[in-house]
Structure 1
Amino acid sequence: MFKKILVANRGEIAVRIIRACREMGIQTVAIYSTADEQALHAQLADEAVCIGPAYAKDSYLKMERILSATLASGAEAIHPGFGFLSENSKFAQLCEKCNIAFIGPNKDVIDRMGDKACARNTMMEAKVPVVPGTKEPLHELKRAKALANEIGYPIMIKASAGGGGRGMRIVHSEEEFDNLFETARQEAKNAFGDDTMYLERYISGARHIEFQILADQFGNVVHLGERDCSVQRRHQKMIEEAPSAALNESLRKEMGEVAVMAAKAANYTNAGTIEFLLDDKGRYYFIEMNTRIQVEHGITELVTGIDLIKEQIKIAAGEPLSFKQEDVRIAGHAIECRINAECPERGFLPSPGTVTEFHMPGGFGVRIDTMLYEGYTIPRYYDSLIAKVMVHDKTREEAIAKMQGVLGELIIDGIETNTDFLYQLIQNKQFQTGNITTNFIEQFLGKE
């Protein structure tokens, strides 16, 4: 087992990783930018190294500085968390060259699954159902438009290197295509440094279902059930649940087996997710694989009792999985709400600033992952996610009631947050009946 791990991230996920390492008796090294000098993760780690100025491109994305900090501190491994360099194959390769364990899959898998067009082809070869779309990477508008006409509208334009909803546009007609394709391509280039695109048929009124995968270095692959991530705004998830109210036991078993088959086809190791769209007729389609830990991993931990961060570390250290598929039990229902520093009344405008008062609810079945503390100043340079509020109870109805109480008690003053907006979503009758699709928030806001 590793004696020391460098955490190449910030915010609540860095705090989460540091705490897991502490419980395992592993020392930690935090990295931080000048804007994060007072951040909680930098204070909790055994060591902390400043790696550059505030902007991520000058700090959290500087591979050489992170590797230098790792080698200088004597850390044997790097946990990348999510975002930043977590799905960067070059970084994974550099770690290998420096004899540093990268807690995640290897370079080849990241390349194959990170390129969404390549991932689709891999799944098609493995007989995993995929959304109808293009097989080839697209760079030219003329060729892309011709293929869009063949597939048929509405269509989804997606960045091959994309994630987090960036580089994506829904096109409803040929007349819209030129402008939206070029806009998505430019956004992808700015966000990922890669403007390669691909096309998929847009499936309206679908659910977003993802299966959590764990795979060791000995060919053992298991799934830990599904999460329903259908409550999204502009492809950014806001509320997640485990398990999904849309799946019966038969469909859950079938999709889980397909998810494991997909991970094996990718020759996958460590934690990842196989993501599907589920239509109103019960047909499901592979859309992508995330080769990292997910923001919403905590609700899977709540319903399975399995610590995913610890499992990631054990797998990277060369240990086999300590359990088999038949050992995995899903108990009860868990819900997560993402608390963002933003103002829904002003178009979800980011709201950085100093937290003047902070009250974090507790109680049986309540978990809050956050980096907040009273007096902490949220920087303006990074993602607006500041806390993940999770609840767990015996049934979905009881979990919803518990979440209402937690959101009603949560106090974060000094900044604007989306807490009240999430409370309204949880109160919504359509949400409470479980009749939700990826269009739910647009319908809630009256935009459809």
Structure 2
Amino acid sequence: MKQFYTSLKRGTTALFVASSLFIRVQSFAQMPSPLVHYKFNGNTNDEKGGSAAVVSGNSLFVEGVEGQAFRFDGTNYITLPEGIINHPNITIATAVKIEQYQNYSRVFDFGNDTETFFAFYSLIGWTADPGGAFLPGLFMKNSITGGEKGAIPWGQPPYLLGDNKWVYLVCTVDEGGVAKVYVNGSQIAENANEFKAGVRALGITKNNYLGKSQFEWDGLAKQVIDDFRIYDKVLSPAEIQALNATVLPVKLSSYEAKLNANGNVDLRWATVSESGNDYFVIERSTDGETFEKFVSVKSKGEKGGFYSATDASPANGPNYYRLSQVDKNGDTKVEGIRLVSLGLGKEEKLVVYPNPLVNNTLSIQVPPAIKTKDIDIKVSDLTGKIVYKTKIVRGMSGVEVLNLDLSSGLYLLKVNDSFSTKLSKE
């Protein structure tokens, strides 16, 4: 592999990286546990029980890849506890969205001063290039490295870590000084020997920043960070891909199924991002349990888009439409189930209340057609797994009260496999 170095401001040598496709695989049954884990869901607490991160400036929590994330607006930054990277082997992993590129701004910078640090720059202007290419990079500097050191890019500049979209960044350094960078699950850079003695050679670092540099004249970052983790080991490529799969899924913004004036069922859904997605599948069922493939639709790419399909031959009675997305590696995730019923009059509808569910108590008004019959009630989640079922001997009024201990989410309630309705718990 051809190495590529260039001189930059302050006489540095840098590791440059390029963005790549997001790869998503099934998570391992057992993953290593991180030393620290900041989810930034409305706070800066460490999910592993360590010290909370300290915010300088405004605490800005915005929508993240899952739950909330922390937004750096160019006036604020975060400080993590001292000595947080003092380990022979280390992995730093985070979801990051660069909102505005600024020269020498940092995703993270752990160190003590301008002579001792380990940092990831989101952007560096490469002045040696006539076109003024821009590059992100991983750097380390201390008395052992003898200067700011990095490694090689794959491909030609310019590179961008992401164009105002989420990417998953992972940096590893082992005790022998081998440094690697991964973006969206794929390795895109490596230095085989210049991060000498690993990050432990930095000692107990006191200035451990997110969004801020050790150099006061470097600007504060404009970015969003979510799910920030540090491990005291070098994660394997497979473990990094498994982590990547849990952090950046396809984001569905809407999914609906409606009966049109011609008696057909119109299916529409939309996404705001589709990292690693290959295609969508809609399956159809008349009982909510046994599904058959109805149609598949190719992905429109990482930025997402609007999709539609039409069922010109829906069955009389309940029609369940299950939407799933299939990754490029073959993994499948169910995104939702929608129900459209045909041939049922008003007197035959199933009524449940309150919906959304409150205090776990649900009242069911059964249709007149089954008032005098025994009633089988089933509640299933969006994957089709039955989470509640009961049998009631009828012969009385058409109202039944259930006590359902459900987690927050969407469910499907069925009575005698003939009448169904959506149910939600907030």
TM-score under structure 2 length normalisation = 0.27
Q: Identify the structure with the greater helix proportion.
A: 1
